[in-house]
Amino acid sequence: MTPDRLTSDPAAPVLFEGCFGWLHPAAGRRGVVLCAPYGSEALATHRPWRGFAQALAAAGLPVLRFDYPGTGNSAGAEDDPARLEAWLDGIRAAADHLRAVAGVEEVTLVGLRLGGLLAAAAARRAAADALVLLSPFPSGRAFLQELRAVALLADRPAGAPPAVGPEGIDSAGFRLTLETAEALRGLDLVRLTEVPAPRVLILDRPEGRAAAVAERFRALGAAVEEAPFPDHARLMTSVQNAASDCSAFARTAAWLSSDPASTGTASTVHPPEPRLRLAGAVERPLRFGAGAGLFGILCEPDTATPAGRPAVLLLNSGATPHSGTGRMSVRLARRLAARGIASLRMDLGGLGDSASKPGRRDGLIYCRDMVEDAQAGLGALAAAGHGAAVAVGLCAGAAVALRVALADPRVVGLALVNPGRFALGDGVTQEEAIGSAVKPAAAYLPRLTEPAVWRAILRQDRKASRVARGLSERAARRLRIGAGRLRAGLTGRGYARDDVLHAFQALADRGVRTLMVHSAGDVTLGELEAQAGTDGGRLRRMGGLWMERLAGADHSLMERAARERFADLLDELLDRIGTGAADALRGRGPGPPEGTGALRVNHATGNSPA
C-alpha cells in the first residue's frame, strides 16, 4: 500500500567499529545480519535489500544491514590494505553489535552474491547460528572471473585506461585492488574444513554452482536446505528495475521465522545519535522532510567552517543511492570537508534510504515533486547552520538541482553534470530516459546518405523511428520556445516553461554561478543542442556560467580520472563563489558576484579555464 505521505522508517542509523548501518528493530530473539553484494550489484539491490530488511523485521526478526569497511558510508577506502580481513571482521562486528543492542540469542548471517561468500567465510568468527546464502559465489576465484569478464566487456570511453591493469579491476566505478583480489583467491567454500553454521539455507540461480557447496556443508555436519532463486536476474538487473517482490526474500523470511527460537521478547537498546569521526570530517545521519521520511548524511569539517562559505547539496545520480556511483558522493563530501566545506548527500523520495512517495512507484527519476525534497535538504542544511548552498547533480539529479535553484534563493551555485533533461514531470525509469535520448543532429546526418538507414526508417525500425521522432520533437520544441521568446520580447511575458536559456538567465541575474559539465561525446549533448544550439552556443555567451567537457569520461563519471577532474572543477566553482553569495543571502554582503563573462570550453583535456 502506498503511504499518504513520506513517513519515517522505524529503522535507526547505527555506527559500530567504523561501519555505518541500519538497525531494523523487532521483538524476536533471533537476529539477522544482512551481508550485501559488491559494487554495482550493491547499488542495484540497495532498495530491495532495504525492503527485505523491513519485511524480516515485520516478521519479528531484528535486522542489521550495514556497509563493509571502505564501502558506502563506512570509514576507509576501497584501496586501503587488508580489505578482505576488514570485510570479514566487519561482519563479526555487525553480529556483536546486533547482540548488544537488540538482545538477540541467535544470529543468522544472510549474504547475497559476494556477500554470501563473505558471510560463509566469517560465520565462525561471528558465531553464527544459521547461514543463508543467496546466489553465492562458491569461491573468490569464481567471483574474480565474473568481475573481470564484466569489466572487460563494459563499454569504456575513448582514452580511458584499461579496466584490468596493475592497480586492479575497475568495474562500474569501483576498484578491487590486486591485493584484495589475491586475498579473495584464498576463499573456497568447497574446501572448508569446519562447518560454518549448524543450519544452512542455499537459494541459487539455475546456472549457479552452489550444489557442490551444499554437498560440502552436509559432509561437515550442517543441516542444509536448497531451493531455487528464480528471480535472480530480475533482482540484479539495475537500480531502476531491481525487484522488491523477490520470492527468494520471501522464502528466506519464512525459513527464518518458522523456528520457535525466532519468537520472544527481546528488547532493543536505542544507541545515541551516531557520529562518524574521520580525518578532517565528522558525519552524522539526518532524517528530515515531511514525516521525517527523507534521509541524508551531513558531512562537516571537524573544525569551524569559515564564515559565509556555502555548503554543498549532493543529489542522487539517477536512481543511485546517496553514496553515488563508485561512491562518488562520499568521496566528494569528505574531500569538501577537508577544505572546510560542509555537505549533505541525500536521497530524494522513493530512492535510496528515503521513504516512498505517495501515488508513485519507487525508482523513478525526473519527478517534479523532487524539488520539494531538495528544498527539504536545504532546510536540513540551514538547521545545521548552513544557510546557503551549491546544488550538485548528475544526470536526472542535474535537472532537480536546476529546478530547486529556480525555486529557492538559498541556492547560490550550481554544478550540473551530463543533464539528460532540464525539465521535470511525473517521472520515468532510467531505462525509459536512456531510450528516449537523442544525440546531436550532426551525429546522424552523415548516415542519412546510407540506403540501409532509409530502409530502416521506412520499415519503422524501432531504433530508427525513435531517433527520427526525437529529432522532429526537438525541432518542434525549438519553434515553440522561439515563439515564446518572441512573445516575451514584445509583451514582457510568455516564455515557455521549458525555456532553459530563460531559466539560466534568471539565475545569472540573481547572481547564481553555474558550472555545466559534459562528458565528451555524451548522448546528453543532444539535449544541450536542442536547448541552446550547437555545442551550447547561446549558453556559452551567458555571464555567470561556464561549461566544460571531460575527455575520457563516461556518462556517470565511473572513471577515477574523470571524477577527480570534476572534483577540481567543483573546487573552482566554490572558490569563485567564495563567501560573497552566502553573505549577500544573509543581507550582510556586497551583493551578487559579477558574471564570469564568455564561457570557455576545453574539449581536449577537460581542464578548468585559466
pLDDT tens-digit map of 297-346: 999 999 876 677 999 999 999 999 999 999 999 999 999 999 999 999 99
Q: Which residue has the cell 530508427?
A: 464
pTM beyond 0.75: the answer is yes
Would you say the C-alpha torsion 46, 52, 53, 54 has a positive or negative sign?
positive
Which class for 279: exposed (0-12), middle (13-18), buried (19 or more C-beta within 10 A)? exposed
- What is the percentage of the chain residues whose pLDDT exceeds 70? 79
The arithmetic mean of pLDDT across residues 544-555, rounded, is 94
Going by their DSSP bridges, the two strands 19-24 and 12-16 should be labelled as antiparallel
pLDDT class for 572, splitting at 50, 70, 90?
very high
C-alpha cell at 420: 539528460
Q: How far apart are CA 69 and CA 83, in angstroms?
A: 8
- Fold of domain 12-138+193-262: Rossmann fold (3.40.50)
Given a cut of 60, is residue 23 above it in pLDDT?
A: yes
Most confident range, picked from 279-288, 428-437, 471-480, 490-499: 279-288
Q: How far apart are CA 152 and CA 132, in angstroms?
A: 31
Q: How far apart are CA 41 and CA 286, in angstroms?
A: 25
User: Do residues 419 and 395 touch, judged by C-beta distance below 8 A?
Assistant: yes
pLDDT class for 106, splitting at 50, 70, 90?
very high
Residues with Cβ within 8 Å of 404's Cβ and at least 6 positions away in sequence, in order, are 371, 374, 375, 378, 391, 411
Neighbouring C-beta atoms of residue 120, cutoff 10 Å: 27
User: Do residues 271 and 101 touch, judged by C-beta distance below 8 A?
Assistant: yes
Q: What is the DSSP string of 35-47?
A: E---THHHHHTHH
Query: What is the C-alpha end-to-end distance of the chain, expressed in Å?
Result: 55
C-alpha cell at 561: 580520472
C-alpha cell at 193: 574444513
Least confident of 2-11, 236-245, 523-532: 2-11
Given a cut of 50, is residue 595 above it in pLDDT?
A: no
Structure confidence at residue 588 (pLDDT): 41
Assign domain 276-437+497-585 one CATH number from 3.40.710.10, 3.30.70.2740, 3.40.640.10, 3.40.50.1820.
3.40.50.1820
Q: Which amino acid is at 472?
A: S
Structure confidence at residue 591 (pLDDT): 36
User: Do residues 361 and 350 touch, judged by C-beta distance below 8 A?
Assistant: yes
SS (H, E, C) 137-202: CCEHHHHHHHHHHHHHHCCCCCCCCCCEECCEEEECCEEECHHHHHHHCCCEHHHCCCCCCCEEEE
Every domain of the chain with CATH number 3.40.50.1820 lies at 12-138+193-262, 276-437+497-585
C-alpha cell at 359: 501515488
Structure confidence at residue 466 (pLDDT): 52
Q: How far apart are CA 317 and CA 240, in angstroms?
A: 12
Which class for 90: exposed (0-12), middle (13-18), buried (19 or more C-beta within 10 A)? buried
Structure confidence at residue 359 (pLDDT): 86
Q: How far apart are CA 111 and CA 138, in angstroms?
A: 12
Q: Which amino acid is at 603?
A: H
Q: How far apart are CA 402 and CA 422, in angstroms?
A: 7
User: Do residues 78 and 175 touch, judged by C-beta distance below 8 A?
Assistant: yes
Q: Which amino acid is at 551?
A: A
Q: How far apart are CA 211 and CA 138, in angstroms?
A: 9
What phi-psi label fits residue 601: left (phi over 0), alpha (psi between -120 and 50 degrees) or beta? beta
Structure confidence at residue 596 (pLDDT): 34
pLDDT class for 601, splitting at 50, 70, 90?
very low
Bridge partners of 298, per DSSP, are 284, 344
Q: Shortest CA distance to 419 belongs to which of 47, 405, 408?
A: 405
pLDDT class for 568, splitting at 50, 70, 90?
very high
Q: How far apart are CA 128 and CA 364, in angstroms?
A: 38
Residues with Cβ within 8 Å of 203's Cβ and at least 6 positions away in sequence, in order, are 132, 133, 134, 135, 226, 227, 228, 229, 248, 251, 252
Would you say the C-alpha torsion 305, 310, 313, 314 has a positive or negative sign?
negative
Going by their DSSP bridges, the two strands 513-519 and 545-550 should be labelled as parallel
SS (H, E, C) 236-276: HCCCCCCCCCCHHHHHHHHHHHCCHHHCCCCCCCCCCCCCE
Instruction: Give the pLDDT confidence of 468-488 residue by residue, as tens digits.
Output: 555 455 555 555 556 555 555
Element (H, E) at 118: helix 114-122
